[in-house]
Amino acid sequence: MLLEATRQKLPPQAALAPEIAIFSYEVLLSFAVTAFLSRATLRRILGAVAGGVLFGLFWLLRWRIGYAMGWWRTAFPETPDPTALFTASVMPLLIILVGAALLIISWRIARRFGWLGCSVFILAVAASGAIRDRIYWDSIMRVLVATPGILPVAVDGAFFVAGLALGHGLMRLIAGPAPQDALARTR
């Protein structure tokens, strides 16, 4: 209750500062661990970051369209647009790194299980990401208000699929093939 009262008195970016700080450490650590454990080369990491930028643009576009359609708004009356909460902080960089980590994982899955495994991974991340965002931002954090229904969740999932698929393609274009990969499946 005290947290809710404090949030109502603070500007939105200040109210999110502790969560953003914790999220920053989690994202940086997960990106570093993913890059290390996947044995990704520097070129693969740079390709994943470039793909993460593309993923971040789709992530931001998803919020913009969701707000325009009335599917998302903030819990702060003075700033109803959800992108206003995320653009003034380090969140864009963090979303790029989340996308880059997901792309490195998708690359590793594609190397081991082929394109079918990569497609299943992207669809699973998209479905879980769309549902997780609604639960996390609306019910747990209570900084965004989501409109219930299957259509908003499906559109969010479609943006996740598009961002991850195009980001994966850009990463592969930059990093190229990995023919000497020790963790790849054998033929």
User: Tens of pLDDT along 34-59?
Assistant: 999 988 889 999 999 999 999 999 99
> Coil, strand or helix: which one is 177?
coil
pTM comes to 0.85
| Tens of pLDDT, residue by residue, the chain (187 residues) | 445 545 556 666 666 677 777 878 888 999 999 999 988 889 999 999 999 999 999 998 998 999 999 999 888 888 788 877 776 668 888 899 999 999 999 999 998 898 999 999 999 999 999 999 999 888 887 888 899 999 999 999 999 999 999 999 999 999 987 766 666 665 5
Looking at residue 89, its pLDDT comes to 67
CA 73 to CA 144: how far, in whole Å?
A: 6
Domain extent listing, the chain: 14-175
User: Tens of pLDDT along 109-135?
Assistant: 998 898 999 999 999 999 999 999 999
Q: Note the helical H segments in the chain.
A: 2-9, 12-15, 17-37, 42-68, 83-87, 91-133, 150-175
